[in-house]
């Protein structure tokens, strides 16, 4: 074999080795990026889920307090105990909100701010800090659940999930309320 043929063979082997190395490097980098993206999406989903759970738990406690205060429901728990639980739920909601601030995109953060504002209106009326009628109470609760739906939509978009929880396929739904009491 001549020296020129040997150089061509060596060059071909080196080119093949370099091509294999570059291809492996690019594939590994792509794999790492994908794993990082999936890991952050999992953390975002966990944060979004935890935040909505904390919001809903607080709202349910506010409903309980309001109904007890207004004589709409009897409870084994006293107002003071429910208020303490609401304070704790507020702390948990605040911690969950901080996770949103760390992980979420701008639209999700904005939706969370709007949801917090709506929840505070419910909390204040439940605690008697903000007066209002039963219809205003119901309107405030409707606003919270509408804000939860907006948060869900923003979170779904941030996570790349198609569809929405509102719109043409999911018409506005109202609160599920018991029938009016009849005094007999």
**CATH number of the domain enclosing 154:** 1.20.120
What does R_g of the chain's alpha carbons equal in angstroms? 28
User: Is residue 181 in some structural domain?
Assistant: no
- List the beta bridge partners of residue 107: none
Question: Which pLDDT value is given to residue 152?
Answer: 95
103 neighbors 40 (Cβ within 8 angstroms): yes
What distance in Å separates the CA atoms of residue 121 and residue 167, rounded to the nearest whole number? 25
Question: Which pLDDT value is given to residue 2?
Answer: 87
What distance in Å separates the CA atoms of residue 143 and residue 125, rounded to the nearest whole number? 13
Question: Which pLDDT value is given to residue 77?
Answer: 87
Q: Is the pLDDT of residue 119 over 70?
A: yes
Per the document, the length of the chain is 184
Instruction: Read off the pLDDT of residues 8-37 as tens digits, 9 standing for 90 and up.
Output: 888 888 888 888 877 877 787 776 675 655
Looking at beta carbons, which pairs linking 177-184 to residues 24 or more positions away fall under 8 Å? 177/138
User: Is residue 39 in some structural domain?
Assistant: no
User: Is residue 166 in some structural domain?
Assistant: no
User: Is residue 18 in some structural domain?
Assistant: no
User: Is residue 127 in some structural domain?
Assistant: yes
Question: Which pLDDT value is given to residue 167?
Answer: 59
End-to-end Cα spacing for the chain:
112
Instruction: Read off the pLDDT of residues 37-56 as tens digits, 9 standing for 90 and up.
Output: 556 789 999 999 999 999 99
Containing structural domain, residue 93: 46-159
pLDDT band at residue 184 using 50, 70 and 90 as cut-offs: very low
User: Is residue 124 in some structural domain?
Assistant: yes
User: Is residue 182 in some structural domain?
Assistant: no
Instruction: Read off the pLDDT of residues 168-181 as tens digits, 9 standing for 90 and up.
Output: 555 566 666 665 55
Q: Is the pLDDT of residue 182 over 70?
A: no
Q: What is the mean pLDDT of residues 137-165?
A: 91
Total domains in the chain come to 1
86 neighbors 126 (Cβ within 8 angstroms): yes
What distance in Å separates the CA atoms of residue 82 and residue 103, rounded to the nearest whole number? 31
């Amino acid at each position: 074999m001549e020296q020129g043929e040997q150089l061509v063979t060596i060059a071909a082997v080196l080119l093949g080795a370099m091509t294999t190395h570059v291809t492996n490097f690019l594939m590994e980098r792509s794999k790492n990026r994908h794993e990082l993206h999936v890991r952050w999406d999992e953390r975002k989903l966990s944060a979004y889920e935890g935040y909505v759970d904390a919001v809903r738990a607080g709202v349910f406690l506010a409903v309980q307090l309001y109904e007890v205060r207004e004589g709409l429901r009897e409870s084994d728990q006293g107002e003071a105990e429910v208020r303490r639980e609401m304070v704790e739920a507020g702390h948990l909601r605040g911690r969950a909100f901080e996770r949103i601030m760390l992980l979420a995109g701008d639209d999700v953060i904005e939706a969370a701010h709007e949801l917090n504002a709506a929840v505070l209106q419910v909390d204040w009326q439940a605690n008697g800090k903000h007066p209002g009628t039963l219809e205003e109470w119901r309107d405030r609760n409707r606003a919270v659940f509408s804000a939860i739906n907006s948060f869900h939509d923003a979170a779904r978009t941030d996570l790349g999930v198609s569809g929405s929880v509102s719109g043409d396929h999911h018409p506005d739904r109202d609160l599920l309320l018991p029938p009016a009491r009849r005094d007999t």
